[in-house]
Amino acid sequence: MSVAIRKHAWVMGLAVLLMVLLTITKLIQPTFGASGLESIARAALPFAFATAGMAVVVIVGGIDLSVASMMAVCAVTAAVLMERMAGVPALFIVLGVGFLMGLINGLLIVVTRVPDIVVTLAMLFVWEGVALLILETPGGATADWLEQAIRGHFLFNGLPKALLVIAFGIAVVWLPIRRSKLGLSIYATGSDELAAFRSGISVGRTKIAAYAICGLFCAMGGLSLAALTGIGEPVPGPYLMASVAAVVLGGVVLGGGKGGLLGPIIAVFILRIIRTILTLLAVDPNVTTIIEGTIMVLVVMLGTAASLKGARR
Amino acid sequence: MKNLLYGVAALAVSASLSTVAMADGHKQYTIGVSNTVQGNGWREQMICAMRAQALVEADVTNLIVAHRNTDSAGQLEDINNLIEAGVDAIVLNPSNPDALNSALEKAMAQDIVVVAVDAGVSAEGAYILSNNQEEYAYLGAKWLFEQLGGKGDVVYMRGIAGVSADTDRDNGFKRALAEHPDINVVHEVFTGWQQDQGKQQIFDYLATGIPFDGVWTSGIDNVIVDAFTESGAPLVPIVGADNAGFVQYLTEVEGLNGAAVTNPGSVGGAGIALAVDILNGKAPENKTVLVDPVLWENSTDAGRETITAAQNPNLDPEWPVSVTVPGWTDYTMEQIIDCKGPGEG
């Protein structure tokens, strides 16, 4: 029970922090409004999917260092395919490619018993090379509807389409899984592998599934990169470290078993809006990253302290 | 948290008050800068040139610099943030010519002037200001071929295949070659603009023992001189770029006859100057503006004097030596080394 309260307290805390940051943005830049929100939601797209994927493997007790590289593979695959064929089948092929890459990551970890951090570090370079093989220099094209799908607002100003894409993409994969046998197995494996095994959970299969889900989210991330830029870029972007940061800030325990996806996604928005604020304030770019890192450590420290205090009571 | 809120509110109010107070007949432009490679000497010089030029432009009161290592999606984010910040102009070094159109078009729809420096963008209505890479190669190659008396064998060391700067330089090199029919290219390699790779390639070629009369390199230059001196081969005329190391060799290495062609990162400062001109209604006729390079050689007294004058011990060794763009930038060498924009102590 207390775990549930703590988990929700963390997410609530993050939501409050996000609201405060939005208010600060509005105070600094009174013209900040629907268009600003839309910009932030679009910027958050690739980070949100990378973070969702990372969160799932962290919950199962692992880590995937190859998320950014898998996103690059998916982005170039999308850009190359959409230049040559219809967008919808291309989209499903890309999702399949992402799922397959995640599956390979998971299989290698479970079958070879090499530590996940080593396997996915190696695969970081493998997928990076694959991306360059598919497309040597940035290029290709994306379907117009894909670019339009993340641009602008839905129904009314203030509800960015990009935000809906994030919510839909993650919900359609994670909601059915979370409450299912697989979802429970993922949490059980993450909190205690041996206990999970003794309760009859196929630990290996659960891990493989978690990595495959991560791959699927990376495919969505790659698609959003292609949709944002209109091209495919073979060189991985800064999504690995950013996703780990958002996962930690979002209240997922790095050892596994605890946390959800909502916290990390809110954390993604917090990290994006901090960058917006720092840009609005014209802070020296060399100082910007220091501030970003400091805020992250402070929030996690405060959150941990608060939840420890709550637990003692 | 409440205190912080008040603090920020106070800051915002005081910021808006100070802009009003600064009204003295000059315009008050805020310019945004976006760059996606951090820690590279050329790009750092570009950023400092932008700051220094913004400092000396009387009409620029604020410069917002978004300068980090990121991909095109990150640059889109930065440009959108600059738009939110209400800038009057955006000067950017684009990560890709086609990837940024959504943000650039949004900016131009809000009458924000967009100037791309160093490389082009395909967004309609954006201004492009870059070093003239074709002229860069032509100038150096022509000098080299003339040094050889219009006759001889040269080694041609290029950059990266498929990169627009390399293609443009190749066109310039070929133009000079066409004017000197008795010059032969005996060896053509791509250095990948990597120092170690270029050095190994010239070592390998020296080891074959095939004689040649000159080397044209696409900016991988001081290591070529090193390769000659280390292998004990007699020096031939070498053309490189205005990298600090090579320019120093031109004054110091005994028996080296060479030339450095400028490829200044300070073209960023020229970008700021162009943005201010456009804001003040003095837009150039052509959307693409090319900055012509200058050649510094050490075979004449005048040339040696120019090289000596350009050197400054305070200059970052990673920077190109040419810190200004004649006809464009107005700052002093101290100001660019200082690297402070408007409003920075």
A140 within 8 A of A232, measured Cβ to Cβ: yes
Considering the domain boundaries, does residue B64 fall inside one? yes
Residue A185 Cα, gap to closest chain B Cα (Å): 35
Which of A294, A282, A289 minimizes the C-alpha distance to A29?
A: A282
For residues B336 and B325, give the distance between their C-alpha atoms in angstroms, rounded to a whole number.
Answer: 12
How many domains, in total, are found in chain B? Answer: 2
C-alpha distances in Å from residue B288, one per residue of A239, B31, B164, B284: 34, 20, 15, 9
Q: Are strands B183-190 and B152-158 parallel, antiparallel or unpaired?
A: parallel
Sign of CA dihedral A151, A74, A100, A197: negative
User: Is B333 contained in some domain?
Assistant: yes
Same domain, B105 and B165: no
Instruction: Tell me the pLDDT band of A307, cut-offs 50, 70 and 90.
Output: low
**Are both B30 and B100 inside the same structural domain?**
yes
From chain B, the residues in CB contact with A276 under 8 A are: 81, 84
Largest CA distance in chain A: 62
- Residues B279, B282, B283, CA angle at the centre, nearest 5°? 85
CA–CA min distance B89, chain A (Å): 15
Looking at this protein, which amino acid is placed at residue B13?
Answer: V
Confidence of residue A144 (pLDDT cuts 50, 70, 90): confident
pLDDT band at A6 (very low <50, low <70, confident <90, very high): low
Do B272 and B153 belong to one domain?
Answer: no
Helix ranges restricted to H, A135-180: 144-149, 161-178
Query: Helix A262-280 and helix A285-312: axis angle, to 10°?
Result: 140
Closest alpha carbon to A186 in A161, A204, A159: A204
Is the pLDDT reported for residue A15 higher than 50?
A: yes
Q: Residue B243 belongs to a domain with what CATH number? A: 3.40.50.2300
Q: DSSP assignment, residue B75?
A: H
Instruction: Choose among A251, A221, A172: nearest CA to A69.
Output: A221
Q: How far apart are CA A99 and CA A216, in angstroms?
A: 4
Q: A68 pLDDT band (50/70/90 cuts)?
A: very high
On whether residue B230 sits in a domain, the answer given is yes
pLDDT at B140: 95
CB A25 within 8 A of CB A274: no
pLDDT digits (tens, 9 = 90+) for A273-283: 999 999 988 88
Could you tell me which chain B residue has the CA closest to the CA of A27? B9
Contact (CB, 8 A) for B96 and B122: no
The answer to whether residue B343 is domain-embedded is no
* Residue B156 falls inside a structural domain: yes
Which range, A4-18, A89-103, B229-243, B250-264, has the best average confidence (pLDDT)? A89-103
- The per-residue pLDDT for A60 is 95
Task: Give yes or no: residues B236 and B146 share one domain.
Answer: yes
Domains and CATH numbers, chain A: 2-21+34-305 (1.10.3470.10)
Number of H helices, E strands in chain B: 12, 12
Chain A residues close to B84, C-beta within 8 Å: 29, 31-32, 35-36, 39, 276, 279-280
Q: Output B54-58 pairs: Cβ under 8 A, ≥24 positions apart.
A: B54/B272, B54/B341, B54/B342, B55/B331, B55/B335, B55/B340, B55/B341, B55/B342, B56/B330, B56/B331, B56/B335, B57/B29, B57/B272, B57/B273, B57/B276, B57/B330, B58/B26
Task: For residues B202 and B157, give the distance between their C-alpha atoms in angstroms, rounded to a whole number.
Answer: 9
In terms of Cα–Cα distance, which of B101, B95, B62 is closest to B80?
B101
Residues in B whose CB is inside 8 Å of some CB of A read 1, 4-5, 8-9, 11-12, 38, 62-74, 76-78, 80-86, 96, 98-102, 162-163, 343-344
Q: Which residue of A has its CA nearest to B14?
A: A28
What percentage of chain A has pLDDT greater than the value 70?
96
- pLDDT tens digit string along A234-268? 989 899 999 999 999 998 988 888 889 999 999 99
Closest CA to A303 of A278, A271, A275, A267: A267
CA distances from A84 to A14, A80, A94, A140, B330 (A): 43, 7, 14, 9, 49
B127 and B269 in one domain? yes
Candidate from A98-112, A149-163, B23-37 with smallest mean pLDDT: B23-37
Closest to B257 (Cα-Cα) out of B213, B315, B291, B202: B213
pLDDT at A138: 86
Identity of the residue in B8, B70, B84 whose CB atom sits nearest the CB atom of A36: B84
Domain span at B195: 133-261
Residue A302 has pLDDT above 90, yes or no: no
- Same domain membership, residue B220 and residue B107: no
What pLDDT sits at residue A301? 83
Q: Are residues B182 and B253 in the same domain?
A: yes
Q: Can you read off the two tokens belonging to residue B47?
A: 């950023």
If asked whether residues B111 and B151 sit together in one domain, one would say: no
Q: Is residue B314 part of a domain?
A: no
What confidence tens digit (pLDDT) does each residue in B133-191 have? 999 999 999 999 999 999 999 999 998 877 778 888 999 999 999 999 999 999 999 98
Residue among B343, B239, B345 at smallest CA distance from B30? B343
- Which of B217, B242, B261 terminates a domain? The answer is B261
What is the value of pTM for the model shown?
0.84
Nearest residue of chain B to residue A16 (CA atoms): B1
Spatial separation of the C-alpha atoms in residues A178 and B280, rounded to whole Å: 59
Sign of CA dihedral B59, B65, B71, B76: negative
Q: How far is B63 from chain A (nearest CA, A)?
A: 7
- The verdict on B6 and B127 lying in the same domain is yes
Domain check: are B169 and B24 in the same one?
Answer: no
Share the mean pLDDT of chain A: 91
CA B59 to chain centre: 24
Q: Which of A130, A144, A139, A45 is nearest to A88 (CA)?
A: A144
Q: Chunk chain B into consecutive blocks of 10 residues (it has 345) and report each block's average pLDDT, rounded to whole numbers.
A: 48 44 70 88 90 93 90 93 94 91 94 92 92 92 94 92 83 95 94 88 92 92 91 92 88 90 90 95 90 89 86 80 88 90 77
Residue A217's pLDDT band, with cuts at 50, 70 and 90, is: very high
Q: How far apart are CA A248 and CA A297, in angstroms?
A: 10
| H-run or E-run covering B203 | helix B195-208
Q: Are residues B46 and B164 in the same domain?
A: no
Structural domain contains residue B308: no
CB A57 within 8 A of CB A175: no
Q: Read off the tokens for B164.
A: 């627009």
**C-alpha span between B121 and B115 (Å, rounded):** 9
Evaluate whether residue B57 is within a structural domain.
yes
Distance of CA B249 to the CA centre of its chain: 21
d(CA B249, CA B303): 14
**Can you state the percent helix, strand and coil of chain A, rounding each to 5?**
75, 0, 20
- Same-domain status, B147 and B46: no
Which residue in chain A is spatially nearest to B87 when comparing CA positions?
A280
Q: What is the dihedral of CA A56, A61, A65, A66, to 10 degrees?
A: -50
Between B62, B73, B96, which is nearest A46 by CB?
Answer: B73
